[in-house]
A and B are shown apart, each in its own frame.
Chain A
């Protein structure tokens, strides 16, 4: 058994002539919570999709449990995905199914477990995220935070080895954010899984991550423990973790000269 459950090696990926990643190297050790951070559009979510085998890299490779993801056929990819659980940014709950049926979905689709056992497992998973009492609700009846927790229960339905979180804190109120934050850490430790969090919420991510990668301009701009990065003097990291409005990432999008544009008759 390798120490790292996911390894990204010299990965490059691009589309429509634009190179999003250029030679990225990352490792995700078993049992750890590892965060990938970076500004909007830096390709963080794309990295999750590359790990999940939804897209193929232009160069380099992603290995999950020692297997190169993009070299797998459909069955191979599905076999690898059974080791993974993913929490999508807005939950991606199936709107025609109740909370109970959403959590039961992977069990019914991928296992031959009897319905009585599925019932017990679903209730246990929902209990773990504190929503056993909401099992009969439809997704439209849930708040954003509750939907995220149900999606988390669904992501851990089959006790995955890797749990991926795509912006788990986005758009949540402080209480829900705290709840999700605590759940990510406690579920990771309880299941002995490896968590990969893609986020740009510094405070919450630093609270639970063991290791953090910063992605900028298609490369890993910085990496280290949350403590290392808080102390970092790298201009980009400093601007990002302290939320400064100007720095290496400029406040203004590149534009023509302000004065001459105001005086001209038309917008270019």
Chain B
């Protein structure tokens, strides 16, 4: 009797795991289909580029403040920490290179993507989720207006365009923050700070690779936010859970993708 109960419990657990796996695979498929449709209907939305511009304002421009402030502090902390280590080896003039490389190659794209997921990604998910809950997407469908072309594609491209620009601004402001700490505050030589940076930061290997990363993160973060909103159950709880999932999944995806991209970039 006890053995049979145990078997039932194990079978139920396994069934639960299987059910969750099927559900996640199904969601992945639906997400991929939404991504495909967003690409297919991009042409339609590009014809009215003002829709994308409007979304660039909401996702990109409205994220500027958080990006600039964070970048400034990240740059300053990098300079402080970097100087602390570099001076032990007598190479404190290399502080400019350290700050620039750390920002351009890693922190710029990654931290921007994490902040973007928290600021713009959640806003996108909540907006789309509420549009679904209040039947705005259904209303659009019934008016013979394709919601993918009208709502999803412009937001997708706005995210993809905004992310590299935000990452570039992040790196620039971060370097400025690092400069303010390293040169006026600590007293590192001004010329050495900039010249070492100029000599050691490679345009293709560092800057272009950083931009590629931010572009990939832009696609991932925006698509996750859009999918979670589009797939959210049309209830208050459903939208709130979808918003949380956007932050969690986007953050983990960005960190995982960063590792994969960095490995490929190192090899190439």
Contacts and interface: CB of A to CB of B under 8 A. Distances in A.
A38 interface: no
Interface string B113-156: 00000000000000000100011101101111110001000000
A54 B134 contact: no
Contacts of B138: 54, 88, 92
Contact of B145 (A92, A93, A110): A110
A90 interface: yes
B141 A54 contact: yes
Interface residues of A, number: 20
A102 B150 CA distance: 14
A193 B141 CA distance: 21
- Residue among A82, A86, A89, A110 with most chain B CB within 10 A: A86
A95 B138 CA distance: 14
A88 B139 contact: yes
Contacts of B142: 52, 54, 81, 84, 86
A110 B144 CA distance: 8
B132 to A, nearest CB: 11
A79 B143 CA distance: 10
Contacts of A84: 142
B135 A109 contact: no
Interface string B23-43: 000000000000000000000
B163 to A, nearest CB: 23
A55 to B, nearest CB: 11
Interface size class of B (residues with CB under 8 A): 10 to 19
A137 interface: no
Interface string B145-174: 110001000000000000000000000000
Interface in B176-221: none
A105 interface: yes
Contacts of B141: 52, 54, 81
A189 B144 CA distance: 24
Contact of A109 (B130, B134, B136, B143): B143
Contacts of A78: 144, 146
Contacts of A95: 130, 134, 136
A106 B138 CA distance: 14
A79 B139 CA distance: 15
Contact of B143 (A54, A90, A93, A105): A105
B150 A109 contact: yes
Contacts of A77: 144
Contacts of B135: 88-90, 92
Interface in A39-60: 52, 54
A54 B139 CA distance: 11
Contacts of A82: 144
A247 to B, nearest CB: 32
A106 B143 contact: yes
Contacts of B144: 77-79, 81-82, 110
Contacts of B150: 109
Given A81-B141, A92-B139, 4 more contacts: A88-B138, A88-B139, A90-B135, A105-B143
A-B CB proximity, top 8 nearest: A92-B139, A92-B135, A78-B144, A81-B144, A86-B142, A109-B145, A88-B135, A106-B143
5 contacts: A86-B142, A88-B135, A92-B139, A93-B136, A94-B139
